[in-house]
Amino acid sequence: MRLFQAVKERITTRQAAERYGITVGRNGMCCCPFHNDRHPSMKIDDRFYCFSCGSTGDVIDFTGLLFRIEPVEAARKLAEDFDINYEYQGEPNNQIKDRKDRESSIITPVKKTEDQIFNEKRTKVARVYLDYRSDLNKQKEKYAK
């Protein structure tokens, strides 16, 4: 099964958003992570659309934008994070003559570099901090009245 197809069939954009720390309401609305959003303006389900900045796409597009990575890397990240097994089946097995050829035709997930791991953790910490700060500001406004 091809990588993109496997990811799109098994993961919704909402599942990916929640996995990566974005709070999605029951109605599928959330604050857009792609611009400075104070009120929910993004609708997320199988696909996503931001009514404010116009960002739109599927789960792979969402992950690519969120982590600032190419679509292939985003698909690999999703497959790895959601434990999806995938294989590239370009040619039928009877046309692959050598075991080495067969092994090279299988796509394997790329290991993350230390920089990628650090950037993911930094992004998550920043999101938690910004959510906490936003909650504090809401409480401040609520009780200042």
Per-residue three-class SS string for 13-81: HHHHHHHCCCCCCCCCEECCCCCCCCCCCEEECCCEEECCCCCEECHHHHHHHHHCCCHHHHHHHHHHH
Q: Which residues are CB-contacts of 62 (< 8 A; sequence separation ≥ 6)?
A: 13, 16, 17, 44, 48
Q: Give the pLDDT of residue 110.
A: 56
Indicate the pTM of the whole model: 0.59
Q: Give pLDDT tens digits along the chain (145 positions).
A: 488 888 999 999 999 999 999 999 999 999 999 999 889 999 999 999 999 999 999 999 999 999 999 999 999 999 999 988 876 554 444 444 444 444 444 444 556 788 888 888 888 888 888 888 888 888 888 888 6
C-alpha 120/C-alpha 66 separation (Å) is 10
Q: Give the pLDDT of residue 115.
A: 83
Q: Give the pLDDT of residue 99.
A: 46
| Best CATH choice for the domain 3-111 from the list 3.30.70.100, 2.60.15.10, 3.90.580.10, 3.30.465.10 | 3.90.580.10
